[in-house]
Each structure stands twice: as C-alpha cells, then as structure tokens.
Chains A and B, each alone.
Chain A
Amino acid sequence: MVDFANLYTYIPVVLVILAPIIGGIMMGIDRKLTARMQSRMGPPIVQPFYDAIKLWGKEPFIASQLQPILAFGYFGFSIAAFTLLAFGQDMLLMIFTMAIADLCLIFAAFNSKSPYSNIGARRELIAMMSYEPVMLLAAISVFFVTGSFMVGSIYEISQPLLTILPLTFLALIPVLIIDMKKSPFDVSGSGHAHQELVRGIYTEFSGYTLALVELGHWTKITLLLAFASLFWSQNLIVGVVLAFALFFVVLVIDNSYPRLDWKTMIKTTWTVGFLLIIANIVGLIARVVILS
C-alpha cells in the first residue's frame, strides 16, 4: 500500500529520478554562462539533452565487449551514490560508490588499444588520487561536528555547517573542478576540442555508450552540488544558492586559467585541500579545548 498521507518520504525517490536531469540542466547553464563570459551567445540550456538524445540514435561502434557494460556501470554506480545521499545514508559509502563508478569509466577506457584513451585513463586515476582524499577528509571534518558519518545527522544540527566548516567548503572547489573536468585540472579529458589527447578518457566512447557516460557524469555533478548544499541544511533555498555559488566560482576559474599538468593538480589538492580541512578540524578542537 502506498501511503499518500506521508508524501515527504517520496522526496528522495523523486530526487534520485531527477538527478541526471538536474545535472543536464546544470551542464546547459554551464555552457551558457561560459559562452556569456567569452561574450558569445551560447547554446540553449537544454543543449546537453539534444546531444545525449542524438548520441543515443547514432550507429553503435563498440571498441570492446566489456565497454558498454562498464558504461552502464558508470551510470548505475553514480545513481547508486546519489541514492545513498538522497536517503541520508553513510557519507563514506557514498564516496566509495562514487569511486567505483569512476573505476568503471577508467576500466572502460583501458579496455581498448587507443593510446589517447589509455593515457586519459591513467590521468583519470591520478585525478581520483588527488580528489578522493580531500572528499574523505571533508567527510571526516563533518564527522567532527555531527559525531556521525550519516548524511541524515547533518539535518539534526541547529547551526549551519558552513559557519562551522567554512574552510572545508572552500576545499570543495578543487574537487568540483576536477570532477567537472574543468580547467586548470582537466588533464584526463576535456569537453573542449583540440586538446593534446583528442578527447582523453572519452576517446573510445561513441553513440549510446558516450550518452551513458554523459548521464553518469551529470549525476556525479548533481551529487557533488547536493553535497555542497548540505552545508546549509537548515534552509533548502540557501543550500541551493550555496551550491550555485560554488558552481559559479568553478566556472570563473575555468574561464580564467589555462590547463595545468597533473603534478600541479596533485600538489594543489594535496596541499591546499588538505591544509584547509585540517586547519578547520584543528580550529574546531582548539575551540572545544579553550571553552572547556
């Protein structure tokens, strides 16, 4: 029996279904804003959906038998990671599920002889190595505040997380840049043409496998933005504005920096990201010690 009296319980289900669509609209806004920053008109907001539908209707060119399965895996595990967030489950599990989704993409890229796709996959591994620890530390810093790794526990604190963990929020900027494949850290494969690796990790995908990879990517972006919006969990609208602000900062950085190499990527995330979050945690502990 469906209990219509308690409709609030269905909000997570609706969110999970809408996650790829929200991500697609965000990518459309991204292309429009990027175009405006370069004084161009830019494509319509729904352009990513046209691209995905078109890709779905192209003749399938499969590089290896495993590739479509892994493309489905990338999409599926991204959705699974978002489901964990939407239902207020464990943050660590969410981050690991996201890592499995990324691994699916990497294995799919390794599963062909193309040197572009192979180098792109190797660089994606380095990208994972640089942002995953920052995400984990961010989850740990949330643990210091709420005393639990559950996303649901964030809703139970009275003070917004942003006022307690402002530096952790800043550390999410490089994470989002790497995950959205934006300059300066788009080493593994960029949305723009004329990079030295053709399309990097996406080179061997075409037709519906590329459409699936795009859908998975949109879901992952929605996931990260939803995680950012948790930093003001008391008021949903403020949270969404916060996520938009983070998104806008990433776009400004994308349009003002050239791409940098993987060494700079690791150095930046491991120094700036780690230091910001550790400073925040140390500050929290110091405050508790001084007050007691």
Chain B
Amino acid sequence: MKTMTKARLKSPWVMHFDCGSCNGCDIEILAALTPKFDVERFGIVNIGDPKQADVLVVTGPANKRNQRVLKNLYDQMPQPKAVIAVGECACSGAIFHNCPNTLGGVDKVIPVDVYVPGCAARPESIIDGVVLVLQKLQKVSEGEKVD
C-alpha cells in the first residue's frame, strides 16, 4: 500500500479544462510546463484524456453553457481524483460573479479541493496548488476521511 501511495504522489497526471477563461491563467498553466518551471520533473504530465487523469485543473467561471461538460468530465475521471480551481474566476466568479449567464465559482458545479487565487495565477502558485492537492491524495490513499 505504501508503494501505491508513493506512486500516486509521484505521478499526478493533470487535465486542464477551460470554462471560458480569458486565457491568462491558461497561459500560466502552460508556462509551468516550460523549461523554466518544468513540472515534468515531479512526474506531472498534462494529459487530454479524463479517463487517465488524476487532477482536474479548471480555469474561468462556470456558466450555464458549459456546466454540463464540466460535470461530465469530472464524472469520467476514475478515483482517486482531485480538482484545482485556478484563478479568481474559477475560485469565486470574480468580476463575473453576478453576470446573468455565469453561475460563479467552479465549486457551484463540482467539488473543488484547492483554490489558487490570482489574476492571472502565477506558475509558482499553480505548482503550489498541485502540491497541496497531492497532500489530499496522500490522505485518500492512506485511507483517511477527507471532506
């Protein structure tokens, strides 16, 4: 069981979903993959397939058009899984919080584990968010109850 926990912490595969963000946060997420930050040295891989992903990274405010897609993607991910909301919009809706077409933060649609604030969120804080999510995955893997 210990080997499994270690393997889970060493290879979090990340799937990125854009809920209608301004692309500011998306560019910062991709910046984390570049040689300067190079998250692949921690085994983090950006993967496009929800069936193979461990961590869902969401940017942008949830809205009425894409909440079905977001829910569907989340449901297609096998356990253990975790969600990171990157950027102010994904955390709370930010300047779009009372727009008629948006619902607000991503947590209105799916359960969020880690909130990474910032407009746009910096690559360092995004990597920090992934590290926080790993702590949750470790607790899940060791059989603790996580709310």
Interface residues of A (CB under 8 A from B): 31, 35, 38-44, 47, 49-51, 53-61, 193-195, 198-199, 202-207, 210
A207-B11 in contact (CB<8A): no
Interface assignment of B52: CB less than 8 Å from any CB of chain A:
yes
B11-A50 in contact (CB<8A): yes
Which residues of A sit under 8 angstroms from B18, Cβ to Cβ?
Answer: none
Report the bound CA distance from A55 to B51 in whole Å: 11
CB contact under 8 A between A54 and B8, given known A41-B41, A43-B40: yes
CB contact under 8 A between A57 and B49, given known A35-B38, A43-B42: no
Chain A residue with Cβ nearest B1? A57
Which of A42, A194, A195 is within 8 Å of B40, CB to CB? Answer: A42
Interface assignment of B71: CB less than 8 Å from any CB of chain A:
no
- Chain A binding surface, main DSSP class: loop
Which residues of B sit under 8 angstroms from A206, Cβ to Cβ?
Answer: 49, 51-52, 78
Chain A residue with Cβ nearest B5? A57
Chain A residue with Cβ nearest B34? A40
Of B11, B51, B54, the most chain A CB neighbours within 10 A belong to: B51
A43-B48 in contact (CB<8A): no
B11-A194 in contact (CB<8A): no
B41-A40 in contact (CB<8A): yes
A53-B3 in contact (CB<8A): yes
Smallest beta-carbon distance A216→chain B, Å:
16
Q: A40-B35, A40-B41, A198-B48 are in contact. List 10 more A-B contacts (CB 8 A).
A: A31-B40, A39-B35, A43-B41, A43-B42, A54-B7, A54-B8, A59-B78, A195-B48, A199-B52, A202-B49
A199-B49 in contact (CB<8A): yes
Which of B38, B43, B80 is within 8 Å of A50, CB to CB? Answer: B43
CB contact under 8 A between A54 and B11, given known A35-B40, A43-B40: yes
Interface assignment of B68: CB less than 8 Å from any CB of chain A:
no
CB 8 Å contact bits of B51-77 with A (1 = contact, 0 = none): 110100000000000000000000010
Smallest beta-carbon distance B35→chain A, Å:
5
B43-A43 in contact (CB<8A): yes
Report the bound CA distance from A61 to B50 in whole Å: 11
Report the bound CA distance from A193 to B16 in whole Å: 11
Report the bound CA distance from A203 to B49 in whole Å: 6
Report the bound CA distance from A15 to B4 in whole Å: 26
Which residues of A sit under 8 angstroms from B6, Cβ to Cβ?
Answer: 50
CB 8 Å contact bits of B86-128 with A (1 = contact, 0 = none): 0000000000000000000000000000000000000000000
Chain B residue with Cβ nearest A58? B78
CB contact under 8 A between A210 and B11, given known A40-B35, A43-B40, A50-B6: no
B7-A50 in contact (CB<8A): yes
B45-A193 in contact (CB<8A): yes
Chain B residue with Cβ nearest A41? B41
Smallest beta-carbon distance B52→chain A, Å:
5
Smallest beta-carbon distance A46→chain B, Å:
9
Report the bound CA distance from A54 to B76 in whole Å: 17
Report the bound CA distance from A41 to B43 in whole Å: 11
Report the bound CA distance from A202 to B80 in whole Å: 20
